[in-house]
Amino acid sequence: MQTSLRLSSNTIVLIDNFINKHFSNKSNEQIQELKKEAIEIVNSIAEESAKDKESLKEQLATKEDIILTRKEISDSKYDLLKWLVTAQLAIAGLLLALIKLI
């Protein structure tokens, strides 16, 4: 999925100013080529950053996710408690039967 972002005019002006200041010894054609390549690089970085933000959003939990998880935890606690009580009653019954047997 290729997303196309537009750089703000401020970003393009910053790139232009930087290249004009630091590459003034180059020909006008070379300067234009440098500007074009720099804009492509910055745009590519911005696109990757946007993709990273989108993938991060997919990994974050919503309030609904948290509510459902809490409900599942609560249900699991109830089931675990139910089985523990049942197991304790069974063990107590077994102990009473063994005591009567002796």
The 3-class SS string of the chain reads CCCCCCCCHHHHHHHHHHHHHHCCCCCHHHHHHHHHHHHHHHHHHHHHHHHHHHHHHHHCCCHHHHHHHHHHHHHHHHHHHHHHHHHHHHHHHHHHHHHHHC
Is pTM beyond 0.85? Reply is no
Q: pLDDT per residue over 56-82, tens digit each?
A: 777 788 899 899 999 999 999 999 999
Question: Ramachandran region of residue 61, left (φ > 0), alpha (ψ -120 to 50) or beta?
Answer: beta
Q: Which pLDDT band holds residue 1 (cuts at 50, 70, 90)?
A: very low
**How far is 35 from 43, CA to CA, in rounded Å?**
12
**How far is 96 from 36, CA to CA, in rounded Å?**
88
Q: pLDDT per residue over 6-59, tens digit each?
A: 778 888 888 888 888 888 888 888 888 888 888 888 888 888 888 887 777 777
Q: pLDDT per residue over 45-54, tens digit each?
A: 888 888 887 7
